Each structure stands twice: as C-alpha cells, then as structure tokens.
Structure 1
Amino acid sequence: MLTLEFKAYGKPKQLAHIDEAIRTAQFIQNKCLRFWLDNPGVTKYDLNKYTAILAKEFPFAANLNSTARQSAAERCGSAITRFFKNCKQKIPGKKGFPKFKKTTRSVEFKQSGWKLSENRKRITFTDKNRIGSLKLKGTRDLHFYSLDQIKRVRLLKKADGYYVQFCIKVNREESVEATGKSIGLDVGLKEFYTDSNGISEKNPRFFRQGEQDIKRLQRRVSRRVKGSNNRRKARQRLGRRHLKISRQRQDFVVKLARCVIQSNDCVVYEDLRIKNMVRNHCLAKSINDASWYQFRLWLEYFAQVFGKITIAVAPNGTSQDCSRCGTIVKKSLSTRTHVCRCGCELDRDHNAAINILQKGMGTVGHTGTNGEKPLNASGEMTSTLVGAILSEQVAS
C-alpha cells in the first residue's frame, strides 16, 4: 500500500466543514466504544451495523458518508483487536485498553463520498457535510494510478494546514544490481549508526537543535490567556515547530535507509525494544530523538522493494563480546574503546557492528538473492516483520 499526501486548499467555510467531519468521526468512534463496553462480545460487523443506527438517531452523523462512518467504527475495532492480541501474547506492562478519544485529526473515506477532477488537481467530497471541492498541491502525479487502485482517502489536519492522503494499492518493486555485500549496523547516540566496515553516520539530533525554540514557544503559550486568539496562534506556532522536527527526522531516515539497502544485499541490525529502553529517564529524550525504530521500518520497507535481505538479531552481548576471539570484555557506557587481551582494539560501536553481522550470518548461513525475492541458503523466504524474534526470522 502506497500513501501519497497532498496539501489541500479551500475557503474558511470549507475548512470549518472539514473540522466538523473530523468531530463527527470522533463521535462515532467513541459511541462504538461505548456500545462495545455495554455489550461485551460484539464483533466488528456489529460495530459497522451500529453506525447506521447512529445515523438515524443523530442528524449530524447522517451528513457524514456511510463509508467514513464505517472507517471510524473500524478504528474502534482495531483498538479492541489490538488489546485482546496483547493480552493473548502476555505482553508485559499495559495492554492498551481502548480509550475514548479527546482529539482526532483525521476522517477517512473509502471508495465513495469523493470524486477527483479530470486533471487530478482537485477533489470534491460529495456527502452532506458540504466540504465541496478542494485544490490539491503536491509533487506526485495521480495519473499514474487508476481510480480503482485508490482504496482510501483521508482528510488530515496538521499544525500547518489540511492535507489529503490517498492510500493506493500497488505492488512496488524495483530492480538493482547485486552488490555481493553484507553489512551489520549498530545504532547509537554518539553516532546514528556504525557499520561493520567502521563507517559511521553522524547523529543529526534534530530535537536538540530546535529545543531552545520549542522552550521559547512553550513559554509564550503558557503566558497567553486560555481561550484567547493569541493563545491559539501561539499553539499553532509551537505545533509547526514540532511538525518541522518530525519531518526532518523522516526525511533523514528515509534517505539513509534507501542508501543502505541499495548499497548492500544483506543488512543485519539489532532487534531493539525501544519501549523498554526509554524507561531510562536520563536517555529517553536522546533515544526518541534518534528515531531508531522509524529507521528500522524504512530499512525493511526498502528491502522488500529492492528484493534485499534484512535480519534482526538479539542484541545480547554484542557490545561486550570480542569480535575476534569471542571473549567477554565488560564495559560501561562511558567506555568507547574495545580492548581485548587477544590484541583486538576497536571502537566500541565498530566491534558491536561486527558481532551483529557475525550473528546474522550464523543464523541463516550463506545468504544471497535470486533477483526477485530474498532467500536464505535453504530457499526459504526471509521475514522482515518488526518485533519478530530470531527463530521467526525465517519462515517457510
């Protein structure tokens, strides 16, 4: 599934109707959650049927397209399913019990309730919410895809305006020449990552760079009177600054992940549990600023696009073991150089990256590609599922 995003432009009255549609979707989602709490055992099909009852009971809910009401119910159903899945898998800590939404920023339509213009530069919403026609501005061309391929259309409100996202069903595959190289990556806070060849990528620290601006804007928000226009404007400035940082992170990890995948046939990295790592309050801000998890997601995505292999290995002992002789050399976080009695002296992250690569190669044996899909030595598909344990990385 490919998601294309366009900036939407309309009159103030149209933007107010978009806000109304978003609030209606939030209302339906909360009503579905209340229906589930009052009637244990209801299924997602029951929630979809309940949206029709809500449309008859509340006139403003009837103004929203029926597929948008169903999408709101599906969001509630997804939260319920995720909660039961976490309980079944006995995930430690909170299981994510569904909560009522206080704020929602999007409303989603399926394949009805909207219409694209012939030049694909405008979109018209045809339900009774009176949103009307919106101008689309973006760098991507929708003419490459047929209308049947567009499965979802999402209206999204961000700090700098309104956006329209098109979820397009397409199998993206690109072919590149095999390089015959395998690489291990050790992510860190000093350097974003260090590979098994000793090459490091600088950690940009986007949040740290903009932290002073954020603090200044937060002080301005706190000084304004609640409910005033000046406070609303100050909140918008603060939101735009946070949005800029998130876009900088995404742009950085997307370009870096694509470069790493195109340059290597096999990429091995640590299967880190970021949720557990951020419990350290001294490092939580820096870990979140590094966006390791987002980098991993894009690595796995581009691996599927270019037909390469990605392997996630357990991080146990990768920093303490010697990459030459395997001897355990205890080191604290402040010790940045690995020195072993066998004569091996390397940077701590470089040594860990070599251990990660060796661990990955020991898991699947000799690796390679057949030009189409990633295979291991036995001819089995190699999984790139996030969170998969080592024994699940290779599935028939």
Structure 2
Amino acid sequence: MIYEFKVKGKEAQYRSIDEAIRTSQFIQNKCLRYWMENKGLRQYDLNKYCAVLAAEFPFADELNSMARQSAAERTWIAIARFCALNAPRFANDNCKKFVKGKKGYPKFKKHCRSVEYKTSGWKLSPNRKAITFRDGKNIGTLKLKGTYDLNFYDIKQIKRVCLVRRADGYYAQFAIDAVVKAEPKLTGKMIGLDLGLKFFIADNQGNIEPCPQFYRKSEKQLNRANRKKSKKFNKSAHPQAKNYHKARNRYARKHLRVTRQRKEYCKRVAYSVTQSNDLIAYEDLNVKGLVKNRHLAKSISDAGWSTFRQWLEYFGFKYGKVTVAVPPHNTSQNCSNCGHIVKKSLSTRTHVCPHCGFVEDRDVNAAINILKLALCTVGHTGTYAWGDLPSWAVGAILLFNGESVSQESNALSSVGVSKINN
C-alpha cells in the first residue's frame, strides 16, 4: 500500500533533494556500466559495488547506504527483465510469471525524478506530520501535507520512503506493508463492460458512462503553453534562461492536471462498478498495440483504458469481488442473441442481426458477449501488465504497488461461484 504526501520545505532543501536524485541516477548508470563490462554479475554484486562507488566519489558517500542499494536494485530490475528472455536462470523472475512491459536492453538514465530510501536514513516526527532525512545530503525536516494518517501503522510496517519530483512540487511516498482487503458486501449482480471511445464504458444492461476526453478539452491550452515555451527556447544558450524553465514548468503542470483528472475519473468509475457488482467482466485489450493506429492513438490514450483496468482490478481484490478479463475477439461482431457473426465497420453503431432480428446498440451487444465469455472462464491469472515493479519486488508478485496495480482475481471465489451458478 502506497501513501503519498506533498512535502513542504525551503528552497535549499529542494535543491538537496535534487542532488540526492542526481546521485541516485549516477549510481544506477554506474551499476549498469559495471554489469556491461563484467558479464555474469548478480544483484548481490551490484549491491557490493555501491560501497566501491561510495569510497571513490564523496558525493555518492553522502547518500544513505540503503538508498544507494535501492538505486542498484532499480538497475537490476531492468537487467533481470532483459535477461529473462536470454538466460534460463533468469526466467523465473519475469517470464514464468508473465510480467509484461519493456524487456529490451537496459538503457542509461537521463531524467530520473525520484530517490528511494529503505528503512534507514529517515525518521518520522512523533505526530507523523513531518519527516527528517539524516544522511549527508542535508535534506533536513520536511512537512507532510496530505489526508492520510500514518499513526495507524507501526514504523516497522513502512518498508520504503520515496521522494518524487513533479512539475508542481515534491512528494513523499510511503510503501506500507499492510493488508488492503476489506469486508466484501455482496450484491448478487454481475456486469459485462465494453470499453469504447464514444462511451467510456457500456454495460450489458444498456447503461453508459460518457467519455470525458480531458486531453481534447485542454488541447488548446496545452498547445498555447507549448508555443510560449518554444518561443523562449534559445538554441545557442546553455543553460537556458529562467523564463524558459518557467514556461516549461507551466506547460508540465497543465499536462499533470490532465493526467490527474483522468486518473480520478477512472478511479471513481471503477469504485462505483466494483461496489455495485460481485463479478465484473471486461475486455483484455492490448492498448499498446491499439495506439499504433495513428488515426485513433490520441483518442485511445485520452480514454485511459489501462488506468481504469488497474483500478478495477485493485478494487476487485480489495473488496473481494471477481474480475475477469476476456479476449475481445469478435465481441462486437457476434450477435449476443443467436451467436451468428454480423460483420460491421467501426462507424456502424447499431447491431442489427439479419438472422434473428435482434437490434441493440453496438457497445451494449459487445458487453453482453463479454459477460457470457466471463461466465465460461474458470479463472484468470493475476499479472502486472503496466509499469515497473519496485526495487524491493524483483521477481515478486505484489498485491499493491501505488499506481501500478494490475492484480486480477486468481480464481472465482466460492461466493462468486455460487452467485454465478444461481
């Protein structure tokens, strides 16, 4: 479980955080270079190499020892992901657990935005409203601004503290080892969801949720801010002037606002769906493949299907609801009444079956087919479909990892099976 707070401090403290982030990036790149020059190294070898870097570079020694190890573990994640395709001894880390995501050759980091501490190098205040970092980077005490209450958890439950830099400030993320499951409230209902561009979701009962199109609505403001940023860029200047960095920050904040709007919308809809139903069936869409269509890439990215699926699977796990991802093949073409294939183009929004005369909205017809496919599914294996695993979870399947949750129901629960059979 991840709790995030915005941190408040002085300008000198923010510069110290930036220095810690740069040091973490330096260690990651050094560990990658060390692995490239010495094939056959393991994670333990990279952790030992951190001590060598600390002895050689004084600024690396200023960073907490466990933070240096955390940076090395981040490098090892990329290495293990790549080697899983090429060496059998790495296969258990990613391939056998079907961890999706990039598996190419590890690359050097250029724009890191976070530094991660383990169980040392920091200390919470008695009222848990401030945190003090006690390594050589002189970050000092930062106030925590947020609605979460850390007093509910023991200090030993906090496994990681990550400082993140964003366009609108700095944030502290606490990785807490706690059970996220809640008491399930069964409703006896099942639902099939069809994700689309005209409607965000359409269920098998004919209910629809409009697509908000946050990026489309903000596109004019984003383009204007981007033009202002470009006008202040000087090709011959190095570094750029302060006005350019201010314009770039304004542009980044607008993008951050759109991202947060999309996330909160997907979160609200996913929560409502899981609270109202015991079984949720949805399409197992290959979003990365779909966005390669240059005509629909912007609309698909703006819809936020992957974000919605992440929150749907997380809430399903937390509240004990069954979530099933089914193959999307022909769900829009098949007739949900008689089963015959009725070919239709993407512009055809109404399903009219010439065999049985069934007439229904295209998305609703697909939602009915999705629910029928889900009822024929005995279970679905949980996977992490998007994002990177944290450094403390190399080769592990976690229950919750901040915004990168992708945990589906491992099997239909006994309660869910009884509801289906009835």
Fold in common (TM above 0.5)? yes
TM-score by length of 1: 0.91
Aligned residue for 2:347, secondary structure, equals: coil
User: In structure 1, what is the equivalent of residue 283 of structure 2?
Assistant: 270
Partner of 2:399: none
Contact in 2 for aligned 1:184/1:269 (Cα 8 Å): yes
SS of the equivalent of 2:84 reads helix
Query: 1:151 and 1:91 mapped to 2: Cα distance?
Result: 23
- Which residue identity does 2:349 align to in structure 1? R
Deviations 1:20-69 (A, max 9, x none): 00000000000001011111111111111100100000000000000100
In structure 2, the residue matched to 1:385 is: 383
Aligned partners of 1:209, 1:217: CA distance in 2, in Å?
Answer: 14
Instruction: Compute the displacement of 1:86 (Å).
Output: 4.9
Q: Is the 8 A contact 1:198 1:350 kept in 2?
A: yes
Q: May I ask how many residue pairs the two structures share in their alignment?
A: 376
Q: Distance in 2 between matches of 1:101 and 1:93?
A: 17
Q: 1:350 aligns with which of 364, 369, 375?
A: 364
Amino acid of the structure 1 residue aligned with 2:59: F
Runs ≥4 residues deviating over 2 A: 84-96, 382-388, 392-396
Q: Which structure 2 segments of 5+ residues have no match?
A: 235-239, 387-408, 414-422
Q: What do the CA deviations read for 1:317-345 (whole angstroms, capped 9, x no partner)?
A: 10100000001000110000000020100
1:255-291 deviations in Å (ceiling 9; x for gaps): 1111101100000111111111111011111111111
- Matched position secondary structure for 1:20: helix
Give the distance between the partners of 2:115 and 2:360, measured in 1 at CA: 52
Structure 2 residue corresponding to 1:253, chosen from 255, 266, 283: 266
C-alpha displacement of 1:11: 1.0
CA distance in 1, matches of 2:340, 2:46: 58
How many Å apart are 1:85 and its aligned residue? Answer: 3.0
Q: Please, which of 290, 293, 301 is the counterpart of residue 314 of structure 2?
A: 301
Mapped contact 2:100–2:385 kept (Cα < 8 A): no
Distance 1:18 1:277 in 2: 38
Query: Is residue 383–residue 395 contact of structure 1 (8 Å, CA) maintained in 2?
Result: no
1:203-253 deviation per Cα after TM superposition (whole angstroms, max 9, x unaligned): 111111111111000000110043011100000100100110111111111
Contact 1:26–1:104 under 8 Å retained in 2: yes
Compute the TM-score of the two structures, normalised by the length of structure 2. Answer: 0.86
Question: What is aligned with 1:131?
Answer: 139
Q: Which residue of 2 aligns with 1:323?
A: 336
Contact 2:194 2:367 in 1 (8 A): yes
What corresponds to 1:28 in structure 2?
27
Which residue, out of 158, 177, 185, partners 2:185? 177
Deviations 1:177-216 (A, max 9, x none): 2111111100000000101111000111111111111100
Give the Cα separation in 1 of the matches to 2:7 and 2:315: 28
User: Which has the bigger relative contact order, CA under 8 A and spacing at least 6?
Assistant: 2
Determine the structure 1 residue equivalent to 2:327: 314
What residue is the counterpart of 1:368 in the other structure?
none
Quick one: which amino acid aligns to residue 4 of structure 2? E
Q: 1:205 aligns with which of 207, 213, 218?
A: 213
